[in-house]
Amino acid sequence: MPSNKSVSDAPIVQFTNCRILRDHQLQREDLWVREGKILNPEKLFFDEKGSADVQLDCKDSIIAPGFIDVQINGGFGVDFSLASDDFKSGIDLVSQKILSHGVTSFCPTLVTSPPSVYHQVLPQIIVRNGGAHGAGILGAHLEGPFISKEKKGAHPEHCLRTFEAGAFQDLLATYGSLDCVQIVTLAPEMRRSSEVIQELTKRGICVSLGHSVANLYQAEEAVQHGATFITHLFNAMLPFHHRDPGIVGLLTSDKIPAGRRVFYGMISDGIHTNPAALRIAHRAHPEGLVLVTDAIAGMGLAPGRHTLGQQVVEIDGLNTYIAGTKTLSGSVATMDTCVRHFQEATGCSAETALEAASLHPAQLLGIEHKKGTLNYDSDADFLMLNDSLYVQATYIAGEEVWRQDVSGM
């Protein structure tokens, strides 16, 4: 066999008999992996005169980039908004369990909480790569407390805050640290929010608009100052109105700075958004749609009472409510379920559904050079799926970290 050792001693794995999602198309070609990265086979053959050490038959599976969940509040009894001594074991459990949903990277999300919770929890969220131990952690998503009282949703009113004289300093004092923070959701109509958005953006933190009564002008102004995301579109914001479409109007606004794309999260669980609303959003701005679970601690558990930060929530089937009310509070849907529901509701292609959970969140976070695609030299985080988009196996850095137990099917 020709030697490929001049470049690396690491084994080369060739995944054969598969359809790879690359350049927005399922393409019938092989996937080559070495040292956790996707290889360009032409360079391997012609520059290194190398070949595969191991061949794996994928049995005609789809191979797609791993899913990235940028809004997940917990799951399997773990609530990221609750400070505890064993927080690390909780986040480890969730990161391990979501591998079976096809999630290879995520942003642990904290809902509106007292400052003491942020000060305790945030230092325990460590950005890390995924692996056999679980999905990678990209950084925290802080949803609140700088949000609208009128659109607080499941967030506790007594913990909501406004920007006072210090503006950005108020935010820093509330959170304690921004070291591990990837996304902050705030209401753009709040006084002095513009300077806060600019300061966060300057630090490379994604600003998302949500839980808000902003009109379209205020939303456009926030985007001009650097905001790039909308938290769970349609939920916890003013409903679309033809004379002032509010935040929803950003999907077709002509005031977005050149070269900037606005992304928007959607909870495609069949509960939070009517399929017709999902279709409207998708048809208006398909490149911006990012599937999120907004999953809470009750995901993966039996119906009953669970927590979401400071609140008690009740799970009834796929519905989750603040106890004693009909206020929706997060979701118990898994990411792979959201992908399948999105495809079914919109009639979109498998490629489009898969990219809404992989490429788009990676683009939102500016990490599409390493995650969210199967381009050469990107991280070998990928899934094997059947034609119905059920996950059969999950790989991180080219290593299998989860596989469907066929005997138990």
What token pair was written down for 205?
């933190």
Q: How many CB atoms lie within 10 A of CB 50?
A: 23
272 is in an annotated binding site: yes
158 is in an annotated binding site: no
379 is catalytic: no
330 is in an annotated binding site: yes
Phi, psi angle pair for 321, to nearest 5°: -125, 155
CA angle, 107 then 392 then 402, to 5°: 55
Phi, psi angle pair for 358, to nearest 5°: -135, -70
**Residue 240 has what DSSP assignment?**
P
235 is in an annotated binding site: yes
Please tell me the distance from the alpha carbon of residue 277 to that of residue 283, in angstroms, as a whole number.
10
211 is in an annotated binding site: yes
Identify residue 306 by its one-letter amino acid code.
Answer: H
Give the sheet arrangement for strand 311-316, strand by strand.
304-308, 311-316, 319-322
Answer yes or no: are the C-beta atoms of 136 and 130 closer than 8 Å. yes
Please tell me the distance from the alpha carbon of residue 252 to that of residue 361, in angstroms, as a whole number.
20
Please tell me the distance from the alpha carbon of residue 369 to that of residue 354, in angstroms, as a whole number.
17
CA–CA distance from 51 to each of 45, 235, 277, 315, 399 (Å)?
7, 51, 49, 52, 19
Provide the β-strand partners of residue 79. Answer: 74
242 is in an annotated binding site: no
Q: How many CB atoms lie within 10 A of CB 157?
A: 10
What token pair was written down for 153?
């949703």
CA angle, 391 then 397 then 403, to 5°: 30
Answer yes or no: are the C-beta atoms of 251 and 286 closer than 8 Å. no
CA–CA distance from 216 to each of 104, 183, 259 (Å)?
35, 21, 20
48 is in an annotated binding site: no
**Catalytic residue of the set 79, 294, 336, 379:** 294
- Which residues contribute to the annotated binding site for substrate? 154, 235-236, 243, 272, 328-330
Which residue numbers are catalytic? 294
- Which residues contribute to the annotated binding site for Zn(2+)? 143, 211, 232
- Which residues contribute to the annotated binding site? 143, 154, 211, 232, 235-236, 243, 272, 328-330
